[in-house]
Amino acid sequence: MNIDLLGAFFVGMMGTGHCIGMCGGISAVISMNTTNSKHPRWLFILLYNCGRILSYSMFGFIIGGVFVSIASTSGSYSALVYLRIFAGILMCLLALYIANWWKGLVYLEVIGKQLWKYISPLTKPLLPLKTPFHAIPFGFLWGWLPCGLVYSTLSWAAVSGGAINGSLIMLAFGIGTLPAMFLVGVGAHALQSFINNLITRNISALLLLTYGTHTVYIALHQLI
């Protein structure tokens, strides 16, 4: 398996505590808006998350394609190497954020809040969710919610070398977030407590910090 895909999956899995904080409450919204449905709530939650992951994959496709085009146009391989260094630094900042050691990554989310003001109203006409399949576009739109975790991983997609690679990295990231987001959505509160446990968060942060530092080291070695 490609190490970047494995790393993106790991980031999604280890960063789930942040995902729950950002998006976990949406399961309550889905629950309130599907109480009269003949379909099980878990199906709405699952398809909502599929829509969310689909939006991540699309982000990766666009970002990966744009940045490889820029690098090809400029003819500078070093530009992608510098971007990889930047991605590694963001990964380290993400580790600090997850462990609550430093919250500087929230400044990245401020950038997305301007766009979210225009996207969030589009979710309201979809409620109440008439069928489980209506949860897919609902989740797709919620995937645009400003999130430092997503933005950090997108920097990885930017240096992936192409649109397809970028899409796969974000897909792997999204799949990494799926198990916990789905289980918490259907009421597995014990899992939420485990993810938010201080020891779990610190171990996750240290692993991410190690991975981010390794990414920067490899990129710097390529410049020598």
If you write DSSP's letter for every residue of 155-215 in order, what string do you get?
Answer: HHHHTSSSHHHHHHHHHHHHHHHHHHHHHHHTT-HHHHHHHT-HHHHHHHHHHHHHHHHHH
Whether the ω angle into residue 179 lies within 30 degrees of 0, i.e. cis, is no
pLDDT of residue 64: 92
From residue 88, give the alpha-carbon distance in Å to each of 65, 143, 176, 178, 216: 20, 23, 19, 23, 5
From residue 7, give the alpha-carbon distance in Å to each of 21, 52, 77, 211: 22, 19, 22, 8
Q: Quick check: helix, strand or coil at residue 11?
A: helix
Instruction: Find out whether 79 and 71 touch, Cβ atoms under 8 Å.
Output: yes
pLDDT of residue 7: 78
pLDDT of residue 61: 97
pLDDT of residue 63: 93
Give the residue among 71, 34, 56 at the shortest CA–CA distance from 140. 56
pLDDT of residue 88: 86
Q: Which pTM was predicted?
A: 0.83
pLDDT, tens digit only, all 224 positions of the chain: 477 788 788 888 877 666 666 666 676 677 676 666 788 888 998 999 999 999 999 999 999 999 888 777 766 667 778 888 888 888 888 888 878 788 777 777 787 888 888 898 998 888 888 888 999 999 999 888 888 888 888 988 888 888 999 999 999 999 998 887 887 766 655 555 656 667 777 877 888 888 889 888 888 887 76
pLDDT of residue 194: 59
pLDDT of residue 197: 67
pLDDT of residue 98: 77
Sign of torsion over alpha carbons 151, 152, 154, 158: positive
C-beta neighbour count of 210 within 10 angstroms: 13
pLDDT of residue 49: 92
| Token pair belonging to 11 | 């980031």
pLDDT of residue 136: 95
pLDDT of residue 52: 93
Question: Rounded to an integer, what distance in angstroms lies between the CA atom of residue 165 and that of residue 117?
Answer: 30
Give the residue among 224, 169, 185 at the shortest CA–CA distance from 16. 185
Question: Rounded to an integer, what distance in angstroms lies between the CA atom of residue 67 and that of residue 65?
Answer: 6
pLDDT of residue 60: 95
Residue with tokens 């969310």: 52
Instruction: Find out whether 157 and 166 touch, Cβ atoms under 8 Å.
Output: yes
In 99-144, which ranges are continuous DSSP H helix?
A: 106-119, 135-142
Q: Quick check: helix, strand or coil at residue 25?
A: coil
